[in-house]
Structure 1
Amino acid sequence: MEGFELSDLVPGLPGEIGLECLTRLPHPSHRVASWVCRCWHQLLESREFYHHRRHLGYTRKVACLVQALPRPAPPPEATAAGGGSKPTDSPGYAVTVFDPVGRAWERLDPVPGYPGGLPLFCQVAGCEGGKLVVMGGWDPASYDPVTDVFLYDFASRRWRRCAPMPSKRSFFAVGSHGGRIYVAGGHDENKNALRTAWAYDAWGDEWTELPPMTRERDECEGIVVGGEFWVVSGYRTDSQGEFEGSAEAFAGGEWRLAEGVWEAGRCPRSSAGGFGSDGRIVSWADSDSRVQVGPSGVAVGDMTLVTGSEYQGAAQGFYVRAGQGGKFERVGDVPDGFGGFVQSGCCVEI
């Protein structure tokens, strides 16, 4: 813990004991504790303290979900008149945090500038230090693509606006590894599929351009496997909706193409998991019939939170699967307001 005067942490206690006390402090108490004094504030929100807690096993992993909010009930006069009871507008979305160990649910405050909900089709990624990044999507009011990037610090429990994405893109792939968040593919404002890719450093708030992928990939999906960022499937500008069976991995500063690792013609959005024993990328839709519609999977440590429905229009189901081939265990007692459709998600270690 270089750079911190430990003797000032707790008056009357040796510095090492004071540090041990704060290290054992439950994470939900960090925000209040940071108000005690400037020394505690600087320590609790530092990168060094996060790694210190992680090294000693005091961090935990949670799933951060882009989840549909409950629709407000129609006004009584609209229902009485026989109209307005069937909503036609898109639902609002917010970030839901689920702790698979404690089975605790929480909803984060809205991001700055979007009090009614997240940008539609935005992407989320976790990064070291207990931070969640939300980027891109469409303005919920105008449906125009945005380049906004927001970072949520679980230590301070606050959002802040970050350096915007270098260009507007929709339905792109995202993945996080090694302290950087990778973005690739999608399409531009003219519906042209993209090959371009970028990496974002959340600590430095900087974007770095990467070499372009081998081909255009619109509506692709990003996963991280074995320390490599994989961009799965997608389609080219001249073949709208014709999802490819290929994928490509970024490692060592270059892209590596892999043919035949995904089912051609199938949309990979939020449903692509890791690699199966046959060397192909599995789809969560095939893992259990209860999540075959609108599936989404988030790896959280040695378990995976899988969401989806059994059929179109069915209630959203929430399941936890241990390991690679473990059974699906239904998450019971989901609180009111947390049963909405899950668009996507990521893991954050806090």
Structure 2
Amino acid sequence: MMTQFQELIPGLPDDIALECLIRIQTPAYLAATGVCSRWRNLLKSGEFSHLRKQNRLTRSYACLVQAKSETPGSKTTSPEFDISIFDSATRSWDRVDSSPVYPTRLPLFCQVASSEGKLVLMGGWDSENYEPVTRVLLYDFLTRRWKQGKDMPSKRSFFAIGGLNGRIYVAGGHDSDKNGLNSVCVYDILEDEWTELTPMNQVRDECQGLIIGSEFWVISGYATENQGEFKPSAEVYDVNLGEWTQVEDVWLGGGSPRSCAGVGKNKELINWASSISEVRFRTCAIELGDRVLVSGSVHEGGNGVFLLGKKQQDGKYGEFEKLVDVPDEFSGFVQSGCYVEV
């Protein structure tokens, strides 16, 4: 029997058909994956994602680990979190469907990163017993489905995370006994496998991860015996060379870099918590290409504020626009986040 759909689109050369398929709009992906196995395999491939990026057909979304609701002045110690999505192009908000593993609330302090159109959620503390969890969950924006990945190799909390080229890098944090870590591992999304990497030179608890070009930056953090004394240095992992380099005096001021570190001109780090007074508490910044979404409040327990800034040609950010039409259900404080390119 002749196999159906030997051609991507019957009657068209495959190169022309591919030019058509990479222009499918995101809402139509789920239907497109059901056309045939060849379409499904193509649309899920790294090559397809690369072609969309190369042709500037992708869109960037901010994915926020966000409190479901919050009353100003509330002292709630264990809020419930979901994953919200902000589209900076349309200024629209949405929410990712809950996973079967976490149907009502996400783990406290869980981390998210993305690569190849996949959102990866891992770590955090169980919301009932506060024990560290090692589960890894992946959300595919094309199929709008969750699946469970291979567990993290060990329990760790408050680690740095970053996604690049189909891999999620994890470094530092602390173990179940609150001992700081310098260990590093990487998760391959396609292979669903973890690999240990060369450790950092220093222990870095409560550090922050950023991807800058082909480098994974692990910013600040502190040693076990110096809890709360954040280092001014960072360690940089070149993913092509597989080598670490330490960079001194890049995080000044002594504060925590968690969720508030950004990148400016010439790889200069920005502390958004100290740069913008309106968001100096519970600050979270998510870079979206040439834009950045910064959230927080002017004082502890204050109303949440969302600001959108655009990077200028000189690499600096111009004036920030305050988002005024944020729906109430998306006004809760943001614990962490990342951007996803789909």
TM-score, normalised relative to structure 1:
0.88
Query: Is residue 100 of structure 1 aligned with residue 88 of structure 2?
Result: yes
Distance 2:189 2:198 in 1: 20
CA contact (8 A) 1:45 1:156 kept: no
Aligned counterpart, 1:211 = 198
CA contact (8 A) 2:208 2:218 kept: yes
SS at match of 1:333: coil
Q: Mark the runs of 5 or more structure 1 residues left unpaired by the alignment.
A: 73-85
Closer/same/farther in 2, CA of residues 222 and 27 from structure 1, 3 Å limit: same
Distance 1:103 1:57 in 2: 20
Query: Is residue 126 of structure 1 aligned with residue 110 of structure 2?
Result: no
CA contact (8 A) 1:111 1:118 kept: no
Aligned counterpart, 2:41 = 42
Aligned counterparts, 1:129-140, within 5 A:
130-140=117-127
1:13-66 per-position Cα deviation (integer Å, ceiling 9, x unaligned): 665554444332211111123234444333332333222322222211111111
Query: Is residue 332 of structure 1 aligned with residue 324 of structure 2?
Result: yes
AA matched with 1:210: L
AA matched with 1:291: V
RMSD: 2.3
For residue 260 of structure 1, the aligned residue among 249, 252, 271 is 249
TM superposition shift of 1:264: 4.8
For residue 229 of structure 1, the aligned residue among 195, 216, 228 is 216
AA matched with 1:154: F
Distance 1:275 1:24 in 2: 32
SS at match of 2:328: coil
AA matched with 2:83: V
SS at match of 2:338: strand
Aligned counterpart, 2:236 = 249
Distance 1:306 1:185 in 2: 25
Aligned counterpart, 1:320 = 308
1:76-123 per-position Cα deviation (integer Å, ceiling 9, x unaligned): xxxxxxxxxx77451111111111011121111123311112111111
CA contact (8 A) 2:80 2:106 kept: yes
CA contact (8 A) 1:112 1:161 kept: no
AA matched with 2:244: W
Q: Which protein shows a greater Rg? A: 1
TM superposition shift of 1:292: 1.2
CA contact (8 A) 1:197 1:211 kept: yes
AA matched with 1:45: K
Q: Mark the runs of 5 or more structure 2 residues left unpaired by the alignment.
A: none
Aligned counterpart, 1:60 = 59
Closer/same/farther in 2, CA of residues 330 and 71 from structure 1, 3 Å limit: closer
Query: Is residue 152 of structure 1 aligned with residue 139 of structure 2?
Result: yes
Aligned counterpart, 1:286 = 274
SS at match of 1:337: helix
Distance 1:246 1:88 in 2: 34
Distance 2:109 2:198 in 1: 25
CA contact (8 A) 2:5 2:36 kept: no
Q: Percent identity?
A: 51
Aligned counterparts, 1:58-207, within 5 A:
58-70=57-69, 88=76, 90-128=78-116, 130-207=117-194
Aligned counterpart, 1:348 = 340
AA matched with 2:153: P
SS at match of 2:27: helix
Distance 1:126 1:157 in 2: 15
Aligned counterpart, 2:259 = 270
Distance 1:96 1:306 in 2: 14
SS at match of 1:151: strand
TM superposition shift of 1:274: 1.8
Closer/same/farther in 2, CA of residues 331 and 5 from structure 1, 3 Å limit: farther
Distance 2:12 2:243 in 1: 52
Distance 1:50 1:280 in 2: 29
Distance 1:8 1:178 in 2: 28
SS at match of 2:40: helix
1:271-322 per-position Cα deviation (integer Å, ceiling 9, x unaligned): 1112567x85320012221111111111111111111111122111111110
Closer/same/farther in 2, CA of residues 120 and 19 from structure 1, 3 Å limit: same
SS at match of 1:32: helix
CA contact (8 A) 1:245 1:260 kept: yes
1:167-221 per-position Cα deviation (integer Å, ceiling 9, x unaligned): 1000001112233221111000001011111111111111111111111111111
Distance 1:43 1:280 in 2: 38
SS at match of 1:319: strand
AA matched with 1:165: M
Distance 1:44 1:240 in 2: 46
